[in-house]
Structure 1
Amino acid sequence: MQLKDQAAIVTGGASGLGAATARRLAAQGAKVAVCDLNAKLAESVAAEIGGIALVCDVADAAAAEAAVAQAAKAHGPARVLVNCAGIGVAKRVIGREGPMALADFDKVIKVNLIGSFNMLRLATTEMSKLEPLATGERGVVISTASIAAYDGQIGQAAYSASKGGIVAMTLPIARELAQFGIRVLTIAPGLFMTPLLAGLPQEAQDSLAAAIPFPRRLGQADEFASLALHMIDNPYLNGEVVRLDAALRMAPR
């Protein structure tokens, strides 16, 4: 799909992987809606790339419906949705104070898994009504999982479950939406230099990087964005989850 003048929505677009993807989409001529809970950062990124900022809790049905409607009003229905919004809570199932609070598990599932599905169901409904492009496609959805979906570490039960759900729903949704010419894909990143990891001491960053086979460093957000753009550009990629992890397989802890 050629991105020039096409409408796109990026959730979690105010920072990290989402911001990098929003910038790359805009650089290709897309009209980008930056969705995030952080209004100030979303407005900053949107102003930089000539897009619009939308404050949105992706796990809330009404908030997501409003955001998709606002994006469509400004740019027309989106042909591209990139789900980058997500959170992580590192807690053991049985901790020093007893069992993990169910609310902690619930919140991660709601934001990461339900939030991704929520945005997907709304955006693809609008995509299905668009005229097909010359390639026959009407749109592309890219969600963000994690290598924790495959080899999650101790303390990542909620996070791994949420990301594993994203992996598991990729193929069945791709099969269902094939009738509309909508492609559905997922990226499962490894250890990336996101704001969370960037805040760690250099020694801690170096320790994490040492476990990565090659290249022996943390991933850069622009490398995630580059893969997202390739997925959008390549019409034969569909129903696939791509690990972007430099061959990392995480140890139990």
Structure 2
Amino acid sequence: MQIDGNVAIVTGGASGLGAATARHLAANGAKVGILDFDGAGAVRIAEEIGGVAAQVDVSDDAAVDAAITKIEQALGTPRIAVNCAGIGTAARIVGRDGKTSFDVFRKTLDVNLFGTYAVMTHAARRMMELASVEGERGVIVNTASVAFQDGQLGQAAYAASKGAIASMALPAAREFARAGIRVMTIAPGLFHTPMMESLPDDVTAQITSNIPHPARLGAPEEYALMAAQIVANPYLNGTTIRLDGATRLPPR
């Protein structure tokens, strides 16, 4: 599917991978709607790229539907949806003091998994009503993490949420195949995002030493390029692509 002239929505578009994706899609001719919990950040990026912003908590199904309606009314029905919204959490299942972390687990799944599912659901429903163009009505790109396979100590909640996102790709792609909608997942490794930027230099150096090649953090623009390549390649469907410089996360 071509990017130029089509409407795209990007969740988590106020920063990091989402902002890079929104910029890349807009630079390639897409009309972009940005959904983010950070409303001011979403407006800032939208103004930069000539798009439309909607403040939303993606874990709220009704709010997601309303936010996509806002984008649809302003730009048209999206044919491209990229889910980058998410939270990174770290907590032991049972802490050293015996404290459990069910609240962390629930919150992580609410945002990462249920948020992705809600956006995919409401985007796909709208895409189904569009006319088919060369056999396609839409493309949905979800974001997992290499933690879905290499989850580290303290990442049970995060890994579970990202593993579920990866697992959804094939059944969702099979369900939407008749409508001409593709579903793919990107599993990023260690990327230069706001979360990583907050770490001390020595910690960042230790992390990057575990990345074979290129031996550096991934650039958000490289994630954006992967998302655009998925949109452009009609035979990519129903699977998860690791984007990680061949890294494998150690146990801790």
Q: Specify if TM > 0.5.
A: yes
Residues in 2 aligned to 1:93 and 1:102: alpha-carbon distance in whole angstroms: 8
Secondary structure of 2:86's aligned partner: coil
Q: How does 1:156-235 map to 2 (within 5 A)?
A: 156-235=155-234
Runs of 4+ aligned residues of structure 1 deviating over 2 Å after TM superposition are none
Residues in 2 aligned to 1:196 and 1:13: alpha-carbon distance in whole angstroms: 15
Residues in 2 aligned to 1:100 and 1:29: alpha-carbon distance in whole angstroms: 48
Give the gaps of 5 or more residues in structure 1: none
The aligned amino acid for 1:243 is R
Residues in 1 aligned to 2:119 and 2:19: alpha-carbon distance in whole angstroms: 17
Residues in 2 aligned to 1:115 and 1:219: alpha-carbon distance in whole angstroms: 24
Q: Which residue of 2 aligns with 1:68?
A: 68
The aligned amino acid for 1:2 is Q
Q: Which residue of 1 aligns with 2:113?
A: 113
Secondary structure of 2:163's aligned partner: helix
RMSD: 0.7
User: Residue by residue, what CA displacement relative to the aligned partner does 1:184-230 show, whole Å, maximum 9, x if unpaired?
Assistant: 00000000000000111111111110010111101000000000000
The reply on whether 1:128 has 2:121 as its aligned counterpart is no
Give, in angstroms, the shift of residue 48 of structure 1.
Answer: 0.3
Give, in angstroms, the shift of residue 100 of structure 1.
Answer: 2.5
Give, in angstroms, the shift of residue 39 of structure 1.
Answer: 1.1
The reply on whether 1:103 has 2:103 as its aligned counterpart is yes
The reply on whether 1:47 has 2:47 as its aligned counterpart is yes
Residues in 2 aligned to 1:224 and 1:161: alpha-carbon distance in whole angstroms: 22
Give, in angstroms, the shift of residue 231 of structure 1.
Answer: 0.2
Secondary structure of 1:141's aligned partner: strand
Residues in 2 aligned to 1:158 and 1:143: alpha-carbon distance in whole angstroms: 18
Residues in 1 aligned to 2:39 and 2:65: alpha-carbon distance in whole angstroms: 17
Across the two proteins, how many residue pairs are aligned to each other? Answer: 252
Identity %: 52
The aligned amino acid for 1:31 is K
Give, in angstroms, the shift of residue 27 of structure 1.
Answer: 0.4
